[in-house]
Amino acid sequence: PKIGHQTGDIRFSDESQRLLNLTDKLSQDKKDAYISSELFLLALLEERAQVSSIFKELGLVRGKLEQAVNQVR
């Protein structure tokens, strides 16, 4: 896809913005100073994104992922 008038600004889809906002909320809940990639994965499981359903089909569930994330922190 292309944008007619390019200004150099980065644009996110609504879905991407929701994911980033949810990841930010998760990082605030954990009192993190920044958004980490593992929290982004947790947010993907919560969001109604297509990748979320793929993760669930593969058996990746929030509880297991959150446990793994907490082990490496």
Phi, psi for 60 (deg, rounded to 5):
-85, 110
Write out pLDDT tens, residues 36-73: 999 999 998 887 778 888 888 898 888 888 999 889 88
pLDDT given for residue 50 in this prediction: 81
Could you give the C-alpha distances from 9 to 2, 3, 6, 12, 35, in angstroms and in order?
Answer: 13, 11, 8, 10, 21
Report residue 41 as tokens.
């994965």
Contact 44, 51 (CB under 8 A): yes
Q: Rounded to the nearest 5 degrees, what angle is found at the Cα of 27, between the Cα atoms of 60 and 8?
A: 95
Write out pLDDT tens, residues 1-48: 566 666 777 788 888 899 999 999 999 999 999 999 999 999 988 877
Q: How far apart are CA 3 and CA 66, in angstroms?
A: 38
pLDDT given for residue 23 in this prediction: 95
